[in-house]
Amino acid sequence: MRKMSKSLGNTIDPLAVLKESGADILRLWTASTDYFEDVRIGKEVLATTTDAYRKLRNTFRYLLGALAGFDEAERLPAAEMPELERWVLHRLAELDAELREATEGFEFNRYVRLISSFANDDLSAFFFDIRKDSLYCDSPASPKRRAYRTVLDTVFHALVRWMAPVLCFTTEEVWQTRFPDEGGSVHLLEWPEIESGWKDEALGSKWDLIRATRENVTESIEPLRREKVIGSSLEAKVLYPDAQIDLLDTELSELAEIYIVSEVDAAQSETIEVTRSDYLKCGRCWRLLPEVGEDGGLCARCEGVLNG
């Protein structure tokens, strides 16, 4: 790799990057650069930045869709929320402190990395993945769905403000898309208000362990998917070592939802065992549950939502 120099004629014109990739990607690359080391740019570096930008944009797109029609009447107090939602609020409080520290130290690359990791790992790959069932299948009045959408609204207001200095055009587009009639600009907003009381170290530690077990379950399911024994993780029944299950202090039905499987049971073994569930599939939520009488029939929840 050669150092860029005007005399060598191997520099990259920022205007060319703007024309090909857009201003926000160039700004994201700039903010992501560790200026304490040699600055690198090229097609591969910009491709990586473009991928990071696309993931952030997809996070905003999901939030906009999932929050359609949300209003204050739907909001639920944090104290009434399930643990998963309170864990996300805990992560927001942690992230808020870390981002303030990064800005005070002019560590812009750390700032962007923290937000990207939160959006990709905590939200898209975990929180959104688990709660999509509740969003699409629960009744609008369901406390779990209300809690989920309340937290999504909180996350939206935090992310759009945090990213506004970097993704100027994208965040303005996102803000105007959600609030087209309220006027104003995202760039006139202040730093989001994150309640310090949301921070809960014990809850954070518990959910760190749950996330680790979820990764173990996912790895154990993959061989069955490759061998076509099951098509979706929802078809899997998981037998988890009972000694480890006890440490999680979580209902087995909740673990099944977190792992996105049919059922979880404790077993006197040292390893995770995965088999195909004997239950039938609900035709609406696609979960395999004991109350489904025939394949394609409705589970109790879906029956209640549609006919209750």
Tell me the DSSP string of 156-178. HHHHHHHHTTTSHHHHHHHHHHH
Which of the residue ranges 10-14, 208-212, 217-221 would you say has the lowest mean pLDDT? 10-14
pLDDT in tens, 135-194: 999 999 999 999 999 999 999 999 999 999 999 999 999 999 999 987 689 999 999 999
Residue 162 lies in a domain: yes
Residue 293 lies in a domain: no
Give residue 210's pLDDT.
95
Q: What is the CATH number of the domain that holds 257?
A: 3.30.2320.20
120 and 184 share a domain? yes
What is the pLDDT averaged over residues 124-138? Answer: 97
Q: Which residues, other chains included, contact 92 with Cβ-Cβ below 8 Å and sequence gap of 6+? A: 154, 155, 158, 194, 198
pLDDT at 19 over 80: no
Residue 291 lies in a domain: no
Residue pair 287/262 in contact (Cβ under 8 Å)? The answer is yes
Residues in the chain: 308
148 and 247 share a domain? no
Which of the residue ranges 1-15, 210-224, 256-270 would you say has the lowest mean pLDDT? 1-15
pLDDT at 258 over 70: yes
163 and 245 share a domain? no
Q: What is the CATH number of the domain that holds 41?
A: 1.10.730.20
Distances (CA, A) of 140 to 86, 187, 280, 301: 20, 33, 25, 13
* Structure-token match 């907003």, residue found: 189
41 and 174 share a domain? yes
Q: Which tokens is 39 given?
A: 């600055």
Residue 77 lies in a domain: yes
9 confidence band (pLDDT: 50, 70, 90): very low
pLDDT at 280 over 50: yes
pLDDT in tens, 72-107: 999 999 999 999 999 999 999 999 999 999 999 999
Residue 288 lies in a domain: no
30 and 121 share a domain? yes
What is the pLDDT averaged over residues 215-221? Answer: 95
269 confidence band (pLDDT: 50, 70, 90): confident
39 confidence band (pLDDT: 50, 70, 90): low
Give residue 32's pLDDT.
85
pLDDT at 1 over 50: no
Rounded CA-CA distance 214/218 in Å is 6
- The alpha carbon of residue 143 and the mean position of all alpha carbons in its chain are separated, in whole angstroms, by 20
| Nearest-10 crossing angle of helices 23-32, 108-117 | 110
Give residue 89's pLDDT.
98
Give residue 2's pLDDT.
47
Scored b (16 or more CB within 10 A) or e, 125-137 reads ebbbebbebbbeb
52 and 164 share a domain? yes
What is the pLDDT averaged over residues 249-257? Answer: 92
Residue 236 lies in a domain: yes
pTM of the complete model: 0.90
3-state DSSP assignment of residue 276 = strand
Residue 3 lies in a domain: no
Domain termination residue (choose one: 171, 199, 227): 199
Distances (CA, A) of 47 to 20, 21, 253: 11, 9, 42
3-state DSSP assignment of residue 293 = coil
Task: Indicate the burial class of 36 (C-beta count within 10 angstroms; 0-12, 13-18, 19 or more).
Answer: exposed
pLDDT at 4 over 80: no
168 and 78 share a domain? yes
158 and 57 share a domain? yes
Rounded CA-CA distance 7/63 in Å is 47
Give residue 6's pLDDT.
44
Q: Which tokens is 37 given?
A: 């080391």
- Domains of the chain: total: 2
Q: Single out the residue of 91, 162, 166, 159 nearest to residue 127, CA to CA.
A: 91
59 and 178 share a domain? yes
Give residue 268's pLDDT.
85
93 and 221 share a domain? no
20 and 164 share a domain? yes
Q: Which tokens is 304 given?
A: 């209640």
Q: Which tokens is 287 given?
A: 């979960």
Domain of residue 218 covers 207-277
Give residue 41's pLDDT.
65
Residue 297 lies in a domain: no
Domain termination residue (choose one: 199, 222, 254): 199
| Cα angle value 287/293/298 (rounded, 5°) | 50
195 and 170 share a domain? yes
Rounded CA-CA distance 87/233 in Å is 24
Give residue 5's pLDDT.
45
Give residue 8's pLDDT.
41
Domain termination residue (choose one: 199, 232, 253): 199
